């Protein structure tokens, strides 16, 4: 009998898209980020994808010192795979962005595969009152800003982390990003198996239509064959529909308050774990089993939690 497929759930607990005034449940402090990650893992997430924030203002903070307090706690309390962002926020330089992953040498770090528009400003319509001065200009600034990930930036991140044994969550927001990965793979700058996180529904990237999901998978199949593991995330209200589609097509899934604040129409998720439980229901309803952290390590060929620097 063939081995049953296990689905990897990633939970991205806070990110840099949403701002504190949008939801009281968005984790901000190191304690909140650690608790959110551990609870998500207990609910079934094999991987936690982590950003840090200034505990006073909630502003994205990419200093290694901002990550250190929660990394240690998560490692003590959970066997989950820790994934550190190198995306940070679109307002940061690539040198700032890579520092936490270069310092702490995690099992996984994120890697964004192209420069793009990254429109956060439509969320200004929804939130009228902001608690902190930085929130409105941050969202407004996305009208004229870019998320810069040039070929040189991508190589810089890969080379800075080379030798650390860190593998990558390769975030592809459009079809061209898959071709950029194929180019880097041809040059042997990045090694398979590739963990491709297809991102649907960011304003500036591919949309959320089932044809978009199918096209992304078809293209990745054609370019990478058996050399990749596919995961998806849908932004905002598309989170669970995209997860359901991809799970039915053989994919892995990412949830978390980084990508969506919602647990249902008009209903804010009260925690990251709530979203993990919701996606788990879908997976189990489809007759699928979820991967433990150690199973995720085997599937993605990760180095192990004993080889990180935190």
Interface with Zn ion (CB under 5 A): 15, 85
Chain centroid, CA 133 distance in Å: 26
Query: Look-up: residue for tokens 């929804």?
Result: 126
Shortest reach from residue 307's CB to ligand KMH, in Å: 22
Nearest to 171 by CA among 262, 66, 86, 260: 86
Among 14, 91, 110, 239, interactor with ligand KMH by CB under 6 A: 110
Closer CB to ligand KMH, 17 or 276, in the complex: 17
Please state whether beta strands 108-112 and 289-290 pair in parallel, antiparallel, or not at all (unpaired). Answer: unpaired
Under rule CB under 6 A, residue 206 binds ligand KMH: no
Look up residue 121 and give its two tokens.
């400003």
Query: Look-up: residue for tokens 């950003």?
Result: 51
**Contact between 123 and 158 (Cβ < 8 Å):** no
**Contact between 295 and 301 (Cβ < 8 Å):** no
Shortest reach from residue 54's CB to ligand KMH, in Å: 17
Pick the piece of the chain touching ligand KMH (CB under 6 A) from 79-87, 134-142, 151-159, 178-186.
79-87
Intra-chain end-to-end CA distance of the chain, in Å = 40
Shortest reach from residue 258's CB to ligand KMH, in Å: 5
Under rule CB under 6 A, residue 199 binds ligand KMH: yes
Q: Whole-angstrom Cα distance, residue 12 to residue 42?
A: 14
Under rule CB under 6 A, residue 15 binds ligand KMH: yes
Choosing among ligand KMH, Zn ion, none, which partner's interface includes residue 61 (Cβ < 5 to 8 Å by kind)?
none
Tell me which residues touch ligand KMH (CB under 6 A): 12, 15, 17, 85-87, 110, 112, 171, 199, 202, 258-259
């Amino acid at each position: 009998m063939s081995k049953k497929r296990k689905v990897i759930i990633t939970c991205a607990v806070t990110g840099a898209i949403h701002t504190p005034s949008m939801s009281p449940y968005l984790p901000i402090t190191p304690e909140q980020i650690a608790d959110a990650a551990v609870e998500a893992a207990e609910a079934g997430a094999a991987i936690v994808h982590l950003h840090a924030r200034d505990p006073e203002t909630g502003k994205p903070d990419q200093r290694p010192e901002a990550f250190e307090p929660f990394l240690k706690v998560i490692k003590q309390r959970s066997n989950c795979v820790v994934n550190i962002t190198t995306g940070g926020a679109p307002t940061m330089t690539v040198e700032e962005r890579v520092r936490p992953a270069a310092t702490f040498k995690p099992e996984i770090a994120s890697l964004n595969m192209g420069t793009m528009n990254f429109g956060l400003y439509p969320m200004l319509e929804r939130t009228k009152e902001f608690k902190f001065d930085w929130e409105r200009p941050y969202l407004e600034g996305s009208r004229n800003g870019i998320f810069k990930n040039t070929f040189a930036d991508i190589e810089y991140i890969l080379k800075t982390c080379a030798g650390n044994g860190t593998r990558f969550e390769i975030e592809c927001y459009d079809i061209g990003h898959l071709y950029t990965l194929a180019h880097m793979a041809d040059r042997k700058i990045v090694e398979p198996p590739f963990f491709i996180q297809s991102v649907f529904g960011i304003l500036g990237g591919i949309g959320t239509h089932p044809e978009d999901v199918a096209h992304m998978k078809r293209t990745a199949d054609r370019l990478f064959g058996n050399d990749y593991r596919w995961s998806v995330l849908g932004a905002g209200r598309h989170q669970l529909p995209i997860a359901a589609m991809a799970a039915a097509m053989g994919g892995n899934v990412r949830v978390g308050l980084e990508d969506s604040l919602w647990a249902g129409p008009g209903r804010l998720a009260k925690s990251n774990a709530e979203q993990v439980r919701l996606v788990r229901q879908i997976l189990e309803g489809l007759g699928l089993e979820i991967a433990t952290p150690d199973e995720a390590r085997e599937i993605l060929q990760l180095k192990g939690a004993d080889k990180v620097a935190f």
